[in-house]
Each structure stands twice: as structure tokens, then as C-alpha cells.
Amino acid sequence: MLPLLTSAHIREADAFTIANEPIASVDLMERAAKAFVGWFINHFPGKDKAITVYALLTRPRPILTATCSVCSKPL
């Protein structure tokens, strides 16, 4: 199993990346999403199923939901 980071470690890593790349936080989030999708497709290659992705974002942002099909194309 991969080691998990605490929310404090994630915030620290995000802040470091944003300060040193430079990259906007929204672009960093998109990069993370694309990396997850690539990993997911490689580990669960069934293209005949759909998955639902739920993201609970911290205040003051709302809860977001998105549905995507598992395919070989990057999102």
C-alpha cells in the first residue's frame, strides 16, 4: 500500500510546488486529477464500466460530483 500524507503535508507540498514551479493552484489540481486518471486506467483497464468520482472540498467550496467513463484517453 502506498503511504498516505496528512492534510498538513499535502498543503506544504502544494505550497512548495506553487512557489517553485511556478504553477497556479487550479493547474496543480488538474495535474493531480490527470495523474490519478492515468493511474486508475492502468490499474483498472475495463473500458465497459463507468465510475463516479466524488470530491468533498473544504469550506467555503461546495461538494462537487463528476461522472466519467473509464477509457484510454486522458481527461
b/e map 1-22, b = 16+ CB within 10 Å: eeeeeeeeeeeeeeeeeeeeee
Predicted TM-score (pTM) of the model is: 0.56
The mean pLDDT of 9-31, rounded to a whole number, is 89
Higher pLDDT, 45 or 35: 35
User: 58: domain range?
Assistant: 7-69
Domain annotation covers residue 62: yes
Domain annotation covers residue 27: yes
CA distance 32 to 23: 12
pLDDT at res. 19: 92
Max mean pLDDT range (27-36, 51-60, 64-73): 27-36
Domain annotation covers residue 34: yes
Number of domains, the chain:
1
